[in-house]
């Protein structure tokens, strides 16, 4: 077990290192950051002077070495645009994205799992077809569009919820629904498959033969077994939520790291972009690692390498 954990942690570190290396080089190979930082009317001499001041005229490998050395000291640098420490700029936004991810998970789990169970238990019924249509809608609507629809309906026409911002709990509702919709569909489909799979097992037939009601059989036995794949998917979906947050946060003016990424790209604040990408990949690799380890803890066949 320990060897298994060590192996997985090692892989995670390699993956994170690979990502930060790639981000570093891709962001520099696409062009000289100096060109993005100078005003339009700057002369060639002014550009050259700034390039030298910022150290972008050094060989790429030297810059990479300096970046790694800074990173090792947990120094993420100073934003060239905002003139403030990058760690603070990104750190301030993380709680917002965490709140949004949590809200979305509540929506996704709260609707997706009951819907999935209902679709499996009442398979072939009108209810299943209605729920399937609902799930398909959640999966197909692009968030930039569903977000605007939500704003028009609940914000403008009904006036129930604030149209934008982050100043009340109400502000969190619509972004959570918009972002949670896709994940909700994934949960519903996963739960349906897992429950259906378990329902066809002999132990369910045996339980029913003992006189257990369907509800009791599902509640006591099926759900416990069906939970394993759902737990795994939850961890993996965190990555998707972070990716989706880029759009949802922009539409709803929610000040998380997704919105920060877009603003920093527009403002050409490339050190901030680099740090956001690094953060997202660390979260992604981290949740995958957790899922891996949780899976191994639950299912002995995996840690034995069978």
Partner 1 sequence: MMRALGLLFLGLMLATPAFAQKDGLVVDLPGDVATMDPHLQWDTDSYTVYRNIFDNLVTRDATGKIAPQVATAWRYADDRTIVFDLRTDITFHDGSRLTPEDVVFSVQRIINPAFRSPQLSQFDQIVSAEVTGPAQVTLHTKTPYPALMAQLVKLSIVPKAVVEKLGDQRFNQEVVGSGPFRLRAWQRGVQTVLDANDAYWRGKPAFRSVTFRAVPDASTRIADLRTGRADITRGLSPDDAEALKSERALQLLTVPTERIAYMFVNAQAGPTKDKRVRQAIAMAVDRDTIITALQQGYAKPVNIVLTPANFGYVPDVKGWPHDPAKARALIKEAGAEGATLQFLTSPAYDRRLNEAVQQMLGEVGLKVDIVTMDQPTYLRRRQGTPEEAGSLSQGRWSCACQDADGVIFPLFRSGSIWSKFANPAFDAEVDAARTILDPGKRLEHYRRAFEILRDEVPGIGLFQDVAIYAARRELKWAPTANEAFFVMDMKWQP
Q: Which residues bind partner 1 (CB under 8 A)?
A: 30-33, 35-44, 46-47, 49-50, 53, 81-84, 89, 91-96, 99, 148, 151-152, 155-156, 159, 162-170, 250-253, 255, 259-260, 262-263, 266-269
User: In the complex, what is the shortest distance from the CB of residue 92 to partner 1, in angstroms, rounded to a whole number?
Assistant: 4
User: In the complex, what is the shortest distance from the CB of residue 81 to partner 1, in angstroms, rounded to a whole number?
Assistant: 5
If the CB atoms of residues 30 and 200 are measured against partner 1, the closer one turns out to be: 30
Residue 254 CA to residue 147 CA, distance in Å, equals 12
If the CB atoms of residues 2 and 44 are measured against partner 1, the closer one turns out to be: 44
If the CB atoms of residues 117 and 260 are measured against partner 1, the closer one turns out to be: 260
If the CB atoms of residues 206 and 243 are measured against partner 1, the closer one turns out to be: 243
Q: Count other C-beta atoms under 10 Å from residue 226's C-beta.
A: 24
User: In the complex, what is the shortest distance from the CB of residue 240 to partner 1, in angstroms, rounded to a whole number?
Assistant: 21
Residue 107 CA to residue 302 CA, distance in Å, equals 31
If the CB atoms of residues 53 and 213 are measured against partner 1, the closer one turns out to be: 53
Report which of 234, 257, 250 is spatially closest to residue 99, judged by C-alpha positions.
257
Residue 303 CA to residue 300 CA, distance in Å, equals 6
User: In the complex, what is the shortest distance from the CB of residue 154 to partner 1, in angstroms, rounded to a whole number?
Assistant: 10
Residue 7 Cα to chain centre, angstroms: 24
Interaxial angle between packed helices 170-199 and 86-121, expressed in degrees from 0 to 180 and rounded to the nearest 10: 40
Q: Count other C-beta atoms under 10 Å from residue 3's C-beta.
A: 9
Residue 220 CA to residue 203 CA, distance in Å, equals 12
User: In the complex, what is the shortest distance from the CB of residue 102 to partner 1, in angstroms, rounded to a whole number?
Assistant: 12
Q: Which two tokens stand for residue 3?
A: 């060897």
């Amino acid at each position: 077990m320990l060897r298994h954990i060590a192996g997985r942690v090692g892989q995670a570190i390699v993956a994170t290192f690979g990502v930060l290396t790639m981000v570093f080089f891709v962001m520099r190979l696409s062009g000289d950051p100096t060109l993005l930082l100078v005003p339009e009317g700057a002369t060639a001499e002014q550009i050259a002077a700034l390039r030298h001041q910022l150290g972008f005229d050094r060989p790429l490998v030297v810059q990479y070495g300096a970046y790694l050395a800074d990173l090792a000291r947990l120094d993420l640098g100073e934003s060239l645009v905002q003139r403030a420490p990058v760690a603070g700029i990104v750190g301030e936004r993380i709680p917002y994205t965490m709140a949004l991810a949590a809200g979305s998970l509540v929506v996704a789990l709260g609707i997706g799992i009951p819907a999935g169970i209902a679709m499996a238990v009442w398979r072939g019924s009108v209810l299943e077809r209605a729920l399937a249509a609902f799930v398909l809608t959640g999966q197909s609507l692009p968030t930039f569009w569903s977000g605007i629809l939500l704003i028009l309906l609940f914000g403008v026409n009904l006036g129930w919820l604030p149209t934008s911002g982050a100043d009340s709990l109400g502000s969190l509702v619509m972004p959570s629904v918009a972002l949670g919709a896709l994940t909700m569909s994934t949960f519903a489909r996963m739960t349906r498959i897992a429950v259906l799979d378990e329902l066809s097992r002999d132990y369910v037939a045996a339980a029913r033969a003992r006189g257990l009601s369907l509800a009791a059989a599902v509640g006591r036995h099926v759900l416990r077994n069906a939970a394993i794949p759902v737990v795994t998917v939850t961890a993996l979906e965190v990555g998707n939520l972070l990716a989706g947050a880029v759009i949802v946060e922009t539409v709803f003016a929610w000040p998380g790291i997704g919105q920060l990424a877009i603003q920093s790209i527009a403002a050409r604040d490339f050190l901030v972009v680099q740090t956001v990408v690094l953060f997202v990949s660390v979260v992604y690799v981290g949740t995958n690692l957790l899922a891996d380890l949780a899976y191994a803890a639950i299912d002995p066949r995996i840690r034995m390498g069978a």
